[in-house]
Structure 1
Amino acid sequence: MVSMTGIYEGSLRTSVKHLKSGNTIVTDAPPDNNGRGEAFSPTDLTCASLNSCMMTLMGILANREGIDLTGLTSDITKIMASDPRKIAEVKIVFTHPSLVATDVQKEKLKRAAMTCPVALSLSDTVVQTITFNF
């Protein structure tokens, strides 16, 4: 069953529509790869997907444990390799300065993040450097 549709719009721009919600994501090639850089690049979306997946898995665990994860923030850095051109490393720093959770719960949150489907789907050659500030 098809759940998304995509179209190449020209000038290195694409759009993908999520059929159930109707939401659309636009991508643009980055300036260092012949694009305009006016939207997320496909590799940006990979890093954003990793971040969102980790946050979602932590949110599921937080709900189960009665932890209020509202306000969790992240900073995402993508490092590209040039030959071949690919994501070499994704750095994500998660921060929640006022998280109310036990040390055991914090460890569970970290484990949940590291076992998200996107993290497990990325090649072993993509370094995932994840920092938790809580």
Structure 2
Amino acid sequence: MEEIKVTYSGNIKTTAAKGGSQITTATDNSPESRTAGTTFTPVDMLVNSLGACMLSMMGATAARKGIDIGRPTATMTYDTDPATHRVTAVRVVFDVDGTNLSEADRKVIMGAAKACPVAASLSESIAKELVFNF
């Protein structure tokens, strides 16, 4: 089992370290909470995880199948419920160099993104919109 240790740093900030490595990340709360807003919020990290997972799945599948997808990007936006602060919708826009991709390759890449385990772990009550620009 993987381990991540999160330490509360005060002033609504945290620092997380991945077990056994020197890799760290920090979170801050949103500017609406009267904090600096200089790093990702925990909700930003959730949405970032979704985009990173989808891109990773696309890249792994492309490599396994010999499909050149270049260096695609994912731009995510999200909505939250003002009362509960829960994420209600996420929109992911992928920009992929599709110059040399067949329609079959594009379907494989889109299917890989949709198979992301982070997406499968999110509540079905969260609307997920995926846009693929090839």
**TM-score strictly above 0.5:** yes
Give the 3 Å change call, closer, same or farther, for CA 51–2 of structure 1 in structure 2.
closer
Tell me, in whole angstroms, the C-alpha distance in 2 between the residues paired with 1:109 and 1:46.
Answer: 22
Alignment of 1:1-134 (within 5 A): 1=1, 3-134=3-134
Tell me, in whole angstroms, the C-alpha distance in 2 between the residues paired with 1:61 and 1:4.
Answer: 27
Provide the alpha-carbon RMSD of the alignment: 1.4
Give the 3 Å change call, closer, same or farther, for CA 19–114 of structure 1 in structure 2.
same
Identity of counterpart residues, as a percentage?
31
Unaligned runs of 5+ in 2: none
CA contact (8 A) 1:77 1:90 kept: yes
Unaligned runs of 5+ in 1: none
How far residue 13 of structure 1 moved from its aligned partner, in angstroms, is 0.2
Scaled by the length of structure 2, what TM-score is found? Answer: 0.92
Scaled by the length of structure 1, what TM-score is found? Answer: 0.92
How far residue 101 of structure 1 moved from its aligned partner, in angstroms, is 1.8
Number of matched residues?
A: 134
Runs of 4+ in 1 over 3 A off after TM superposition: none
How far residue 99 of structure 1 moved from its aligned partner, in angstroms, is 4.1
